[in-house]
Chains A and B, each alone.
Chain A
Amino acid sequence: MGVGITVKDLDAWYGTHQTLFKISLDIPANQATALIGPSGCGKSTFVRCLNRMHETNASGRVDGTVRIGAMDIYKDAAPVEIRRRVGMVFQRPNPFPTMSIYENVASGLKLNGFRNRRVLDEIVERSLKHAALWEEVKDDLRRKSGASLSGGQQQRLCIARALAVDPEVLLMDEPASALDPVSTAKIEDLIFELKSQYTIVIVTHNMQQAARVAERTGFFLSGKLVEFDVTHKIFTNPGDKRTEDYITGRFG
């Protein structure tokens, strides 16, 4: 089961440059929530605040509360504990180049001391199947390195790596931006399938994708959450003029 996320008055900075302003929203459990908005509006920064990755940046600073389930992640827990529960797929694929495909997928579990080979094999296979990569790599799982894959394959490998640790929340920052339509469709199928067990937050520039996979959609603009509502409403009857301009392409 996934868990819901409650964000209240979240501010974030890079150095003195404030990138998020008083973001408040409720992300429901076991649903997909899409975040849209123009480039540089703070979508990546926002999702990075949900697993405390933002503070790993030397100049990153956060203020406000984020609750995942009952836990206030900035008060009640250490970052490592949160990141084990909240998986992340980054905007740019970042597989481990010195590891084989198998090791890449197993890396999260190995890191945390999981050693059971038989179970590892199963998890690696299942994760790669989920990420729609299994068929392409099953013959050289241990021979090929993570860096020898194409850009889109690397992205799916990163998805598999995040899935392998079975997080309760999955943050996906433009997971399909480097993928062809077929793989994109597979990733969207995956999101549908995962909803029963995970809470998914997906950043996307593709409105159709947001409309297809997400129950709710949030529209960001210049570090502010302009509108957050049921996806259908955002795309058919937005409450804010700026949202309407953006989704109809009149933005700018």
Chain B
Amino acid sequence: MDSNTQQIRTRSFAPSLSQTAIAGPSTSRSGSPAAEDPSPSPVRSFLHARGSSAGSDRAFRWLMVACALTIFAIVALIATELVMRSEMSIKKFGFGFFVHSGWDPVTGDYGALPFIYGTLLSSLVALAIAVPLSVGLAIFLTEMCPGPLRSPLAFLTELLAAIPSVVYGLWAVFVLVPILRAHVNPVLGATLGWTTLFTGPNYGIGMLAAGVILAIMILPIISSLTREVMSAVPYAQREAVLALGATRWEMIRMGVLRNARIGIVGSVILGLGRALGETMAVTMVIGNRPEIVRSLFAPGYSMASVIANEFSEASDDLYLSALVEIGLALFLVTIVVNALARLLVWAVTRGAPVRVAA
């Protein structure tokens, strides 16, 4: 391969050029572009002098490989550290730790299940609220919004992403929770109580409050990325659908959403990642009680919250070790959820090309 590039680099194109000049009709023209030309074109000599650039290309490749390897190293480092520091808890509880529900520092009884449940359920509630909202927002912004309103609205949604989560938490405590308690929860209880998802004492704080605040927090991520992929769909795709006699909504469904679906799922995965790991705002409204209750009104606990709340007061080694193992569980859950989501993308789009033809 090296000798090949060498050959290409040193071979002169001049002889073949002069041959075509002789063979072709251009010989009759004044001034032949052949090698004997006293003043070669500056562009040609510049490009010839550049060579194959194989060396710098190789260096670039190794640099990129190094970047990629750094990611692996970081992930591996985190995983080994988590495993090492939770060794005591792993030895004592084994795999049962992940499926046991109990959390009592006094008796030394620890299990991760209520926290896993809390993290997954609050994130699921967040997705259920945020995905339709943010896709709707993205559709409005790309397809229907009057021009002058577009960038202010887009800017506003992106501004939501920049607000620190503790501010969201404060807002949730003082505004969202009272609203939920006084207005939303009673209505939900009355209308959807039969699902048993909205029953029991109504404190305001609880799983539903956590899900709603998470939804607000991941909405800007999902909607801005969705907007991005939707506006990347070529206009010709919209035209193709319209020319078949489609209404506006049919055009959006077939010409835009369908072409953008991979990107939309990608943005949902990113939003989910943020929801799973979000700590502060959730801690402030989820209720912090390690119980598994079906009702969304009931307080719960999330993995990130329990670590943040109890890490500083973990008085004995087993307690600390159990908390680190919760961290390990969060790490694993995040990986598994992401893997499942990617599997879903793959299943949906199997055979279909990833990129939209321009």
Contacts and interface: CB of A to CB of B under 8 A. Distances in A.
* Size category of the binding interface on chain A: 20 to 34
A148 B245 contact: no
Give the size range of B's interface with the partner: 20 to 34
A172 B128 CA distance: 45
Contacts of A87: 243
Interface stretch (B74-82, B111-119, B233-241): B233-241
Interface in B227-268: 234, 236-247, 250, 254-255, 258-259, 261
Contacts of A92: 236
A111 interface: yes
Interface in A70-115: 80-84, 87-88, 90, 92, 94-100, 107-108, 111-112
B353 A147 contact: yes
A59 B239 CA distance: 15
Contact of A111 (B236, B254, B261, B352): B254
B250 A147 contact: no
Nearest to B349: A98
A158 B357 CA distance: 14
Given A90-B239, A145-B353, A98 B245 contact: no
B315 to A, nearest CB: 57
A111 B241 CA distance: 9
A97 to B, nearest CB: 5
Interface of A: 51, 53, 56, 80-84, 87-88, 90, 92, 94-100, 107-108, 111-112, 143, 145, 147-148, 158, 161-162, 165
A-B pairs with lowest CB-CB distance, top 4: A84-B245, A108-B244, A94-B236, A83-B245
23 contacts: A53-B242, A53-B243, A56-B238, A83-B243, A83-B244, A84-B245, A92-B236, A96-B255, A96-B259, A97-B352, A97-B355, A97-B356, A98-B258, A98-B259, A98-B353, A98-B356, A107-B254, A108-B245, A112-B245, A143-B351, A145-B353, A161-B244, A162-B244
